Amino acid sequence: MSAVHPDTIQQLRQEILLREGLRPPSAAAVDMGLGPVAAAFPQGVFPTGAMHELLSDGPEGAAAGGAWVAALIGRLMVGEGACVWIGPRGTFYPPALKAYGVEPDRVVFVDIRKEKEGLWAIEEALKCEGLAAVVGEISEVSFLASRRFQLAVEQSRVTGFLLRDRPRNRQPIATVARWQITPLPGGLAAPSMPGVGFARWNVELLRMRGGQPGRWEMEWREGRMRQVEGVEGVEGALPVRKGEVHRKTG
Amino acid sequence: MTIRRPALRDIAFVLAVPDHGRKVITGVNSIARNEGIDSGMAVADARVLYPTLEVIDEPPGLAARLLRALAVWCIRYSPVTAIDAPDGLLLETTGCDHLWGGEEAYLTQILYRLRANGYDVRGGMADTIGAAWAVARYSMSARGSGQGASIVPRGQATAAMLELPPAALRLAPDLVDRLQKLGLIRIGPVVRIQRRALQRRLGPELLLRLDQAFGIEEEPLLPVQPVLPYHERLPCLEPIGTTGGVAIGLERLLDMLCGRLQRDGKGLREAVFKAWRIDGRLMQAQIGTNRGSNHAPHLFRLFEEKIRGFEPGPGIELFTIDAPKTEDVSPLQKTLWTGACGPDDPRLSELVDRISNKLGAGLIHRYLPAEHYWPERAYAPARGFDDAPASVWPSDRPRPIRLLSIPERIEVAAPIPDYPPMHFRHHNTLHKIVRADGPERIEQEWWIDRAQHRDYYVVEDETGARYWLFRSGHYTGDHSNQWYLHGFFS
């Protein structure tokens, strides 16, 4: 077998990513401040202009997922950006977004009453070029709907997040990444200290198109995301429980 | 009346309506008036004066209908035409008279046209409604000369009024009688009396009417047809019978309207599109925008959803579009906008328009900080999309990312007063509290509500889930206070 030129392989990889709905990162890629998690993304850059979904199992997990998204959109909205947050009325508390670097007055909240309305509103928002991010709190998203979202963001380059709390249907949908964020105890600098401490999460990347799924322990500390100290040994290599990885095959 | 029945032209006749078992005269023609008959008399009394008097029953509501039709007809002379019941019309002539070559020619023309149609009219023109009303009815020149037009030159309304009788002030009849009894047969002496004395003895109405006549008090006109500066119409040569045709009509109208709006630097906030069918049915669609827009493709998209229900039926003969609400807008940037869009970007406001037109208004909010410690009141919806926060968002206290709009009751076991609980039960799940922060006492603002204060604790259970709990009110000892779950920390 003749030796294949490494450039050719690189080129082919790029092409595959493009066909999967991921564009090669531009020069002006945003630093998401995710530290070790970035290694899981294709070419080490957080995929903007794509759909991400976050699963949760109850309000506690939904709060953790919401905070994770807030931290991400805080980075995406740097400068003049605006964000549209679509969900049932009064679940998220706007003033709390400030703690994650989001100016709450730059977020437009759309209250929805029915899931069908939510799907329509999310798609319309995703088509709006120039938005930093669109967050949709919606549990049930069919594959067809997710495909429409994906097509919309490929056109408009908006980053979309779907917060899916207790979804009935956990089949893979057409998103580039599937996350699950769960709270972890003990965000204290030392175990003997009183109080609750920093928000600490178990971040699982269950699916990543063109990337490497993984699990990390992260905490929100002094306005930025950090990996929990003392567990470096398992960084990035924490085994993902079997059966939770849905990778597209074929 | 004389037009329909020419025979009446040369005889005295009156219109009468039944009132309390007798017939009262409501309208008199000039021949009858010369015989001493006036409106308000009973028909029987009038017959005594003039036995061959022709009495015609007045159809109910005729006068009002006629007056309204005349007011609409007068719109050709001035866009602001108001009805002054029971027998007058008011026209705002500012900026209209020069089209007819001056005030005199203008008024003469109106009166001439009305008289040519058989109406017995008098006209007056002055700076104020009150003065114009007075000179039209009581001025000597209006009564005496055949012209019946009296014009008070600018700034001389007061002087002209002083010579007229008090009845020219549009007063109630009994007030006119009292003035008459007091010997005040001209307005001049009335004005010279101290205002306080007038107020005490004759009531506030007289003072109000005087002020209105002299232009001290503002008096509004209520136009018969509201003036819509932005109105476009598209008559169709052939009736439109397809929905595609409706869309084309809408597009053409929007182009016309938006062109005008752009020239004037305006944007519409509300628009009504109407389709008039041949069979007299009217179909209409209304849209609203959250910020003035004169962007035709965007407005077309907003209408697109609504005009789907239009049934052309036998055909549509006329399309109209109105913009009842407009506002000034800064000219749109012509270059393609590629950067990030902030809250004031037109693309975002167009998205908001699309969503609120489809799902209904009141669902889209932008929040601004409100200076309250009470968590539910710490933010308030912004009124407009251009509102900037008046204060900074506080971030010094821990606030949960998910807040329950109504705090949920929980059962707790707290060891000692002012300590966080050991465990709590929520939705039949027992949460054992491992770590806790607090309390943070948040007092109810007494000027808004008088409920009990809350002592908040941030707690973490053994799985690492973090909650915001509070106890309502003080610890009293003998009865346990209610604890609530209010939010979820990330």
Query: Domains (ranges, CATH) in chain B?
Result: 6-60 (3.40.1170.60), 68-214 (no CATH), 231-328 (3.30.1490.100), 402-489 (no CATH)
B370: number of CA atoms within 13 Å, CB side? 15
Measured in angstroms, the CA of A127 and the nearest CA of chain B are apart by: 9
* Angle, CA B20 vertex, CA B18 and CA B21 arms, to 5°: 70
Cβ-Cβ contacts under 8 Å for B142 (sequence gap 6 or more): B122, B123, B124, B135, B136, B148, B149, B150
Residue A16 belongs to a domain: no
Look at A182 and B92; give whichever has higher pLDDT.
Answer: A182
Q: What pLDDT, on the 0 to 100 scale, is given for residue B477?
A: 63
A92–B487 CB contact, under 8 Å: no
Q: Which of A181, A143, A137 is nearest to A160 (CA)?
A: A137
Q: Is A184 on the interface with B (CB under 8 A)?
A: yes
The one-letter amino acid code at B30 reads S
Average pLDDT over residues B242-258: 89
Residue A27 belongs to a domain: no
- CATH number of the domain that residue A130 is part of: 3.40.50.300
Residue A189 belongs to a domain: yes
Residue A25 belongs to a domain: no
Measured in angstroms, the CA of B210 and the nearest CA of chain A are apart by: 53
Number of structural domains found in chain A: 1
What count of other Cβ atoms lies within 10 Å of the Cβ of residue B197? Answer: 9
Lowest model confidence (mean pLDDT) among A3-7, B237-241, B362-366? A3-7
Decide if pLDDT at B285 tops 50: yes
Tokens standing for residue B304: 């697109």
Cβ contacts of A108 on chain B, cutoff 8 Å:
343, 348, 352, 364-366
Decide if pLDDT at A104 tops 80: yes
Cβ-Cβ contacts under 8 Å for A163 (sequence gap 6 or more): A54, A56, A62, A65, A66, A69, A87, A135, A136, A137, A138
Residue A248 belongs to a domain: no
B367–A107 CB contact, under 8 Å: yes
Lowest model confidence (mean pLDDT) among A85-94, B117-126, B342-351, B438-447? B342-351
This prediction's pTM: 0.64
* Contact of A167 with A140, CB cutoff 8 Å: yes
B401–A66 CB contact, under 8 Å: yes
Look at B295 and B226; give whichever has higher pLDDT.
Answer: B295
Lowest model confidence (mean pLDDT) among A6-20, A36-50, B435-449? A6-20
For A67, the domain range is 48-234
Average pLDDT over residues A186-195: 71
- What is the ipTM score, two decimals? 0.81
Q: What pLDDT, on the 0 to 100 scale, is given for residue A137?
A: 92
Residue A114 belongs to a domain: yes
The overall average pLDDT reported for chain B is 80
Residue A226 belongs to a domain: yes
Closest CB from B340, B350, B464 relative to A184: B464
Q: Specify burial of residue A18 (Cβ count, 10 A radius: 0-12, 13-18, 19+).
A: exposed
Residue A148 belongs to a domain: yes
Q: What pLDDT, on the 0 to 100 scale, is given for residue A29?
A: 61
What count of other Cβ atoms lies within 10 Å of the Cβ of residue B125? Answer: 21
